[in-house]
Amino acid sequence: MGEASARVKTIFVYPIKSCRGISVAQAPVSPTGFRWDRQWMVVNANGRMITQRVEPKLALIELELPHEAFSESWEPSSDSCMVVRAPGMDMLKVPLSKPCDMVEHVSVWNWNGSALDEGARAAEWFSNYLGKTSRMVRFDAASQTRLTDPDYANGYKTMFSDQFPFMLISQGSLDALNKILKEPVPINRFRPNILVEGCGPFSEDLWKEIKIDDLTFYGVKLCSRCKIPTINQETGIAGSEPTETLKGFRSDRILLPNRKPQGQVYVGQHLVCKESFTKDKGKVIQVGDTVCIVQQLSSTADAAA
């Protein structure tokens, strides 16, 4: 089983890419990550993803799903919906039943495919909020497949997340960073799916195989950080921290001395779940679950990044 080294402190699901996350007591594991995670996305007139990197205002969009949506085998009814709120905007309700219309040429990084279109009302809401032509689309797992990078995790799938289905950070890592920063930052700057506690700072760098409850996760890649951690998630205003501070002790030059530096900083570890290949229901992670380390690296220099 391995050594019990941590426990799950918080679980976050981000239904719309780059909008606020939802903290939940439990989350079912699906073939593409936690259920509902990055299932929706806002796109521009060309079908290209819109994220906080270009539109920091997305940080202010709050989402609400039915509480029971995170039960193991819950299915939406005809009146189930996701509620979307933002400053200065009327509330938007998005039905959880799948829409019929499709949008072609939707793209996330180097992936291109079709997606379900959430309709004119949602398109008008996001267009008005962002001040430019936008649409809200939903990943259609029935007709589309978005595979993870085979160099790191061959055969696994995700929806509209940047790279991989799960991302984990430890509270110890956040605490260590905040001891150095002049102004501490909350965990929402880093947008993890799983926040664990009870382990040392950045110990998650070394985790190659862990078990959470009876589910097996593989650490496949250190998480390189983009602009988003510098965006205050309460105001949508970007600064220089915590990235400037992270450059001093979490850069690729320091963590990966045997490789050519690319100017990256790293916080957190991307994961895939072994059991996402199986179709039996009942796979769920809960706050309080024990995290057991089955296999770990001897040093960060050996980590994939």
Q: Could you read off the pLDDT of 112-149 as tens digits, one per residue?
A: 999 999 999 999 999 999 999 999 999 999 999 999 99
Region(s) of the chain under CATH 2.40.33:
3-15+149-302
Q: Average pLDDT over the chain, rounded to whole? A: 96
Cα dist. 292→3, 7, 74, 171 in Å?
Answer: 5, 8, 28, 16
Report which of residues 304 and 2 the model is more confident about: 304
Q: How many residues are recorded in the chain?
A: 305
- Taking alpha carbons only, the member of 60, 41, 9 closest to residue 158 is 41
What fold does the segment set 3-15+149-302 form as a domain?
M1 Pyruvate Kinase; Domain 3 (2.40.33)
What average pLDDT score do residues 147-164 get? 97
Query: Who contacts 197 (Cβ-Cβ below 8 Å, separation ≥6)?
Result: 6, 7, 9, 170, 171, 172
Q: Encoding tokens for residue 293?
A: 């380390």
Could you tell me the end-to-end alpha-carbon distance of the chain, in angstroms, rounded to an integer?
A: 26
Specify the 3-state DSSP secondary structure of 188: helix
pLDDT reading at 280 higher than 80: no
The reported pLDDT for the residue numbered 20 is: 98
pTM here? 0.97
Backbone angles phi, psi at 172, to 5 degrees: -60, -35
Report DSSP letters for 259-285, one per residue: S---S-BEEEEEEEEGGGG---S--EE
Residue 281: which pLDDT band, with cuts at 50, 70 and 90? low
Backbone angles phi, psi at 77, to 5 degrees: -95, 180
